[in-house]
Amino acid sequence: AKAGRATTPPKPRPLLLSPIARLILASNLAGLVILITGALVLNEFRSSLVNARKASLSEMTQLISSFITDNATTDDPAGLNIVKLSTQLKAIPLTSATRIRVHDAQGQLVADTMLLKDEIELKDLPPIREPSSIERAWLDAVRFANRTFETVSATGRQPIAEARSLEEEVAMALAGNAGFSERFGDQAERLLSVTMPIQKVARVVGTITVETSDVTEIIADERAALIPLILVAVLVSIITATLLTLGIARPLRNLARASDKVRTGATERLDLGKLHNRSDEIGDLARAMEAMTEALYVRIQENERFAADVAHELKNPLTSIRSAVETSQAVQDPKVRDRMRDVIARDVVRLDRLISDISNLSRLEGEIVREKLARVDLRRLLEDIVSIYTDTKKETEAAVTLAVSPGDYNVMGRDGPLAQIVRNLIENARSFSPPGGTVAVTLSRLTSPRGPAVRVVVEDEGPGIPPDKL
CATH, residue 353: 1.10.287.130
Residue 437 is assigned to a structural domain of this protein: yes
Q: What is the C-alpha separation between 79 and 109, in angstroms, rounded? A: 14
Residues 329 and 386 both lie in one domain: no
Same domain, 31 and 75: yes
Q: Are residues 358 and 470 in the same domain?
A: no
Is residue 127 a part of any domain in this protein? no
Does residue 164 form part of some domain?
A: yes
User: Apex CA 13: angle with CA 12 and CA 19, to 5°?
Assistant: 130
Q: Which domain holds residue 399?
A: 373-470
- Domain assignment present for residue 261? The answer is no
Pick the last residue of a domain from 229, 247, 272.
229
Shared domain for 86 and 180, answered yes or no, is: yes
Q: What is the pLDDT of residue 381?
A: 92
Other CB atoms within a 10 A radius of the CB of residue 291 amount to 14
Q: What residues contact residue 207 under an 8 Å CB cut-off, 6+ apart?
A: 102, 103, 107, 169, 170, 173, 174, 195, 196, 197, 198
Give the per-residue pLDDT at 125.
Answer: 58
* Low-confidence stretches of the chain (pLDDT beneath 70): 1-25, 27-28, 31, 35, 38-47, 49-50, 117-132, 135-136, 138-161, 188, 215-223, 225-226, 364-371, 465-470
Residue 77 shares a structural domain with residue 149: yes
pLDDT recorded at residue 148? 60
Concatenating the DSSP letter of every residue in 119-141 gives: -----PPPPP-PPPHHHHHHHHH
C-alpha 270: how far from chain center: 28
pTM for the predicted model, two decimal places: 0.40
Domain annotation covers residue 271: no
> What interhelical angle do 415-432 and 378-391 show, nearest 10?
40
pLDDT computed for residue 8 by the predictor: 46
Asked whether the beta carbons of 344 and 321 are under 8 A apart, the reply is yes
256: in domain: no
Final residue before a domain boundary, out of 352, 370, 388: 370
Residues 51 and 193 in one domain: yes
d(CA 84, CA 58): 23
Q: What whole-number distance in Å separates Cα of residue 283 and Cα of residue 26?
A: 20
Same domain, 46 and 178: yes
Same domain, 394 and 327: no
- Same domain for 300 and 218: no
| Domain harbouring 448, CATH code | 3.30.565.10
pLDDT at 85: 84
**Count of the separate structural domains present in the chain:** 3
On whether the CB atoms of residues 205 and 199 are closer than 8 A, the answer is: yes
Note whether residue 152 is domain-resident.
Answer: yes
CA distance 358 to 335: 35
**Whether 107 and 209 share a structural domain:** yes
Considering the domain architecture, whether residues 204 and 304 belong to the same structural domain is answered as: no
Using CA atoms, how far apart are residues 306 and 361, in angstroms rounded to an integer? 11
For residue 163, with 0-12 CB atoms within 10 Å meaning exposed, 13-18 middle and 19 or more buried, which class applies?
Answer: exposed
Last residue of a domain, one of 321, 344, 370: 370
Specify whether 346 is located in the same domain as 454.
no
Give the per-residue pLDDT at 207: 93
pLDDT of 156 reads 44
For residue 226, give every residue at least 6 positions away whose Cβ sits within 8 Å of its Cβ, in sequence order, or none: 38, 39, 42, 145, 149
Specify whether the CB–CB gap between 403 and 364 falls below 8 A: no
Would you state the pLDDT for residue 380? 92
- The answer to the question of residue 450 being in a domain is yes
Q: How far apart are the two ends of the chain, measured CA to CA in Å?
A: 15
